[in-house]
Amino acid sequence: MATSRAPKGLYVGTCPICHKHQYRTRQDARRVGRSLYPGHVLRAYRCGEYWHFGHIPQDVRRGERPAP
């Protein structure tokens, strides 16, 4: 039980729109993202009533367009 690095219990379900894991707050999404992908550049973003995390798209990181 103690082997997983992902904080369990923060995940609240699967998004019906994009099928990603849903978290209740931006903080929860960021926390899980950091534990799963240490050292990666991640962002938390809202989708419907919940939050997801994801890698920042290359064009956003280059400054070619603002993050949504």
Residues in contact with Zn ion, counted by CB under 5 A, come to a total of 4
Q: Residue 49: is it exposed, middle or buried by C-beta count within 10 angstroms (0-12/13-18/19+)? A: exposed
Q: Which residues pair with 47 in a beta bridge?
A: 50
> Which of 7, 12, 13, 18 touches Zn ion (CB under 5 A)?
18
> Which of 10, 15, 42, 60 touches Zn ion (CB under 5 A)?
15
Q: Does 45 bind Zn ion (CB under 5 A)?
A: no
Helix extents (H) in 1-68: 26-36, 58-61
Q: How far is the CB of 28 from Zn ion (least distance, A)?
A: 14
Binding site for Zn ion (CB under 5 A): 15, 17-18, 47
